[in-house]
Amino acid sequence: MTNLSLDAEQLYAELRAGVGRLLTPDTVLVGIWSGGAWLAQRLNADLKTGHPVGTISSTLHRDDFGARGLGATEAATELPFEIDGARILLVDDVIASGRTIRAVVNELFDYGRPASVELAVLVDRGGRELPVAPVFAAAKLTLPAHQRLSLAREADGRFTFAVKETT
């Protein structure tokens, strides 16, 4: 059994501190839709990076497209800065298999050739299927495969975690 009394706000504070240490003056934050995008927006404001924040969607590069179809289409990539030569810090709520990151990196390269791409996450839940590793994770935990963990944003902007049973 996993204790799921995860305090998303407390983890966010740790993420903010961790990302703060990783930032260089030319680092731009790019949040992975949807949970990572909320995190990146708030981090960008809290850490006053001075750069616009990007949002990236894995939809068009997913490897399970044949099985899942397109699904929700509100996810759209918006990168309001030059990608060529950029130092990019990807932000996501949860990393597991690493497949989303693979898709997102492909998406990123459709826009140009960044100088570097790193990843910071709120939660690393293990179960990697690809050689992908975050440079910062606010928490590491192991969850049963049938449980899906995702970030939710309350009306007042506060973060909580939602756990869903998948079939």
Q: Which residues make up the interface to another protein (CB under 8 A)?
A: 57, 59-61, 65-66, 68-70, 73-77, 106, 109-112
Q: How far is the CB of 96 from another protein (least distance, A)?
A: 22
- Residue 89 φ/ψ, nearest 5 degrees: -115, 110
Q: How far is the CB of 98 from another protein (least distance, A)?
A: 18
Position 75, amino acid? A
Q: How far is the CB of 113 from another protein (least distance, A)?
A: 9
Residue closer to another protein (CB basis): 44 or 57? 57
Report the run of H or E that residue 46 belongs to, with start and end. Answer: helix 35-46
Residue closer to another protein (CB basis): 30 or 120? 30
Residue closer to another protein (CB basis): 113 or 158? 113
Geometric angle at alpha carbon 151, from 57 and 110, rounded to 5°: 10
CA distance 64 to 97: 13
Q: How far is the CB of 70 from another protein (least distance, A)?
A: 5
Q: How far is the CB of 134 from another protein (least distance, A)?
A: 25
CA distance 119 to 81: 18
Residue closer to another protein (CB basis): 68 or 158? 68
Residue closer to another protein (CB basis): 97 or 106? 106
Task: Count other C-beta atoms under 10 Å from residue 124's C-beta.
Answer: 21
CA distance 135 to 124: 11
